[in-house]
Amino acid sequence: MAFGSFNNNGGGQTQSEINMVPLIDVMLVLLVIFMVTAPLLTHSIQINVPQASSEPVTQKPDIIDLAVDAQGQIFWNEQAVTLDALPQLLAEQAVLEPQPNLHIRADRDTRYDVLAQIMAGAKQAGMQKVGFITRPGEKALESAHASSGN
């Protein structure tokens, strides 16, 4: 860095050295701050926590596959059921521990009121984990193929 001088005695020459004093002052302040805070970071409270040998839960919840075709016919794990029998089946599954996941697969042409009745029945029965099974769109498939190198 070159700084000019306001004195004309030097013949207008620039100062070609860096003024180190402000940099040293900043470094000393940082050093003091770190010296003060470092002991505080290592201070800890000794607590005797209880020891327990626990193994991860490997039990996976069951999955209920609920399919609805274009005509509104409902299939419970590939077995045909009526819309009137569905609330009782959902209530039986809702009390199980762990509660099974309800996966709803509906045809693209399924009427909305059938899906609304199924979802309302699942909520009234107390089902907590309800999801829709969909197929990825063409753009998602193209990006998946492009990222995999195919």
pLDDT tens figures, 99-141 = 899 999 999 888 889 989 999 999 999 999 898 888 876 665 5
Specify whether 73 is located in the same domain as 121: yes
Specify whether 68 is located in the same domain as 126: yes
| pLDDT tier, 47 (very low <50, low <70, confident <90, very high otherwise) | confident
Read off the DSSP letter of residue 118.
Answer: H
CB-based contacts of 76: which residues, under 8 Å, 6+ apart? 64, 65, 66, 86, 89
The 10s digit of each residue's pLDDT in 28-37 is 999 999 998 8
Residue 6 is predicted with a pLDDT of 60
What is the percent of the chain with per-residue pLDDT over 70, rounded to a whole number?
Answer: 78
Side-chain half-sphere CA neighbours of 149 within 13 A: 0
This prediction's pTM:
0.54
Specify whether 27 is located in the same domain as 69: no
Helices 112-125 and 86-94: angle between axes, nearest 10 degrees: 40
- What does the alpha-carbon distance between residue 106 and residue 111 come to, in Å, rounded to a whole number? 9
- What does the alpha-carbon distance between residue 51 and residue 56 come to, in Å, rounded to a whole number? 15
Q: Please indicate, yes or no, if residue 144 is contained in any of the structural domains.
A: no
Specify whether 128 is located in the same domain as 71: yes
Residue 91 is predicted with a pLDDT of 92
Range of the domain at 29: 1-40
Specify whether 130 is located in the same domain as 78: yes
